[in-house]
Structure 1
């Protein structure tokens, strides 16, 4: 996977604009522009931004070192996937989901991930499940608390949920979850440091892993679903920064 870093700059005190590095490889312009822009958007912590983030097609094409056509095509695809939206005579902006939309996404994710957990207990190897526990080795009791290394824990948290879906071994499930999780990744990064979610999160994760190790199909399914719905409840109660 390519590594792309994005920054936000203000222009004349107005809406924020996105800055990206030029593409090193100019093959398959549309696909590479799409991948680069999507990765940058996901990395922006959009829910921490006080203003809308505007995407300047001309500036992005110059930054990426390509013509405006692949950028325009990439923008169209990103708009279909719900990451950006175009406003007539104003431009294209990164989408900030409403509270209702975020909660609905989490509810759907809860259903998908709980199904994946069920499939893991029936089909995954002991070695695959053991790798889930290894993710949290440095955060367990007696080691560094998750809130002490919040950025690191946030990435492990995201990796854990992606791995649960992948380990289910159902290709259709993976495809259904892919873009949904990309949207959720942004809200997970924002919420993990709120209240005491980091500490509670690792306890939930370890309980889920224990149920998977025990091949407790019903228990793993319930634990995964309740963990996701706990995030939905947190958003409903505390995410006042969402409309």
Structure 2
């Protein structure tokens, strides 16, 4: 006979993780703006839940850096300063340039074709920027995640995942600046050429340039 206590621990865990993901998407979509106060009663009512799983979800988001807890004031969507962004981009540049160098050296032909296919989708989305900006953003992230997946270092993956969540607090604004989308595409094209040439030093350099230019557009 199954232990009733083990069943009881699974359901609330799944619930607060689902709540965390919903709030995460609201933050990334700017429905919840940086600096805005999290109205726990309102959100709990909207989601049809008690405040207990909501508060557990907020703890998860606080650990990710997306929520800031203020004593006696509650939870707020984190505001990212220029220094915060600079620090995040610096670390991402180090981690992802290292990953792309590994890919240039070790990726199979099939894996490089996978990256080429994603890049082709990026190019297609860039042809209609007014309608496809959100898709370009999604594909851009998928490309970077595919590079990390191929490089295959789970510790690096975890660090990048956490840093990218913070970066997303500002990321949409940087890509939507005039001309940045096309610049980002050109940087991806240069990166893809370095990968196909299997040149790890050049691939790492192109990735560093990509992050440097992204930071300049973000602040």
Would you call these one fold, judging by a TM-score over 0.5?
yes
1:184-240, Cα deviation, whole Å (9 max, x unpaired): 2332211112131111111110111111111111110111111111112333xxx3x
Q: TM-score, normalised by structure 1?
A: 0.76
Match of 1:57 in 2: 40
Which runs of structure 1 show a deviation greater than 6 angstroms over 4 or more consecutive aligned residues? Answer: none
Match of 2:106 in 1: 123
Q: Does residue 1:34 correspond to 2:20, yes or no?
A: yes
Measure, in 1, the Cα distance between the counterparts of 2:91 and 2:31. Answer: 22
Give the aligned length.
208
Q: TM-score, normalised by structure 2?
A: 0.84
Instruction: Give the 5 Å matches for 1:96-135.
Output: 96-135=79-118
1:122-178, Cα deviation, whole Å (9 max, x unpaired): 22211111122222325549x963634323222222222222222211111111111
- Paired residue for 2:163, among 163, 167, 180? 180
Measure, in 1, the Cα distance between the counterparts of 2:61 and 2:195. Answer: 36
Query: Which stretches in structure 2 are left out of the alignment for 5+ residues?
Result: 1-10
Measure, in 2, the Cα distance between the counterparts of 1:224 and 1:83. Answer: 25
Query: Which stretches in structure 1 are left out of the alignment for 5+ residues?
Result: 1-24
Contact 1:109 1:177 in 2 (8 A): yes
More helix by percentage: 2
Measure, in 2, the Cα distance between the counterparts of 1:72 and 1:203. Answer: 43
What RMSD in Å do the two structures reach over aligned CA positions?
2.4
Contact 1:119 1:169 in 2 (8 A): no
More strand by percentage: 1
The worse-fitting range, judged by mean Cα deviation, of 57-66 and 132-141 is: 132-141
